[in-house]
Structure 1
Amino acid sequence: MQIDLAMLFLTELQVGSERLYKIKRKGTSLNLRYEIDGEIHRRSYLSGLSWRAILLFALTEGKAVTVHEMDQPGRYRKLFPNTLLRRLHWYARPNANFPPVARFYDPNGKAVMLLTRSRVCGHAVDALHNLAHSGPVFQPLWISDIMALRPMLGLDLVRDETFSAAMPISAYLEAAAMMGRIVEEPEFPGLSLTGNPRRLVTPPSSKAGRSIFDQASRENPALEKLRDRTIYADYSLTI
């Protein structure tokens, strides 16, 4: 879990050219109902950073955290049903190169997100997405940040229930680097893939994320060795 936390606090979800927590709409919040060691909490967070801090303290103290609701009632389980969470957990193994497990998209726009595995006891996932203006991004994301896109930015992602990928994530990454966008599966036969994907650009960490990581590193010096670790270290990819 230390590896997961290190990467998550040193990367940010960027929407357009700004980090998510900087461009939220005024007066919006993320509603959560969650359980920590059997105690139920209901809170509204003005920033995803607040929820991350709660998770960090609880998980590092060995407490069990279970999320029951995020955003609107029922929306969390509609996007992340237990069957999907179990599949994402099963794919969370070293040196993997499985096909993406799920596809989220914006019915009213061009946003697409492909999920490959889970992290931090199911509180985060790895995703290839096109939310940043800089081009496709492959990074670990807090599920709370994905859920916050609707209330805080008006980006209402839905899960593609017909999605079934036959190509491994390496093919999607190579195609994304080649085309500068996320490629749909029917397009793959027309591409000359080599099996050697080029590493995609990852948005830099925020000052707040680095500060949290620095504090955690002072308390646990072993974390410092993870400062430069990237998502690619957990996949069997030739880059």
Structure 2
Amino acid sequence: MAKRTKKTPSANAGARLLEPVATVIRGAYRLAVFVLVLQVAVSVVDTGLHGPWSSPYVCADDPSTFFDLGDFGTGELPRAFGPLPGIGVSASPTYCTDHPDAAQRFYDLAGDASAALLLFGVLFLLNRMIQTATRDGVFTHRPAHYLRLTGWWLLLGSLAVEVVQTLTHAALLATLARDYEEWGLSWNAPYTLILTALGILAFARVLRAGAAMREDLEGTV
């Protein structure tokens, strides 16, 4: 008969320390898995629904091109625009096609898929960290290991996603607009995600140091 494992007092204390974040992460991870499975089903089965993977339209905006729509509130703008007196309006074009080919569909989905993969990976690693911390305790090596993986995944993944989105967006625009060659114009470094990742890596080092101190204290008792 299999023995049931009991949580140690440190594990019980760790579980309490992780709330309510643990509940939010578990819920977000399960929701992400559900949405992923549902989206795949919608894309494979002809349900009549259209998700981001099965939309009949492919669009891309061109931030390198902009033009004035009116000379500072003189009333010469389309009815959709309503600036206050003395305010000018400018716009950038958005190109769309309702008959995208395979390459256009790939370019359109690659950016969203890379961002979704980054988010899913972060949720998966955080969920694993919470599981191990709840079972073994917060100041043990396995939670620190998963938290460290989360930091590196977020740091490198955010940079990779930005590169993928920039290149695929430019490649898509090149198939929709004439003479589009502004490959690097839409690049924006993900500073917030980079700083968050560095903070996670620093906290992972704190957990590793705490785990080592805990083992030393247990060895001296």
For the aligned pair, the TM-score class normalised by the smaller chain equals under 0.3
TM-score normalized with structure 2 length: 0.24
Instruction: Please say which structure displays the higher CA radius of gyration.
Output: 2
Structure with more of its chain in strand, by fraction: 1
**Structure 1 or 2: more helix by fraction:** 2
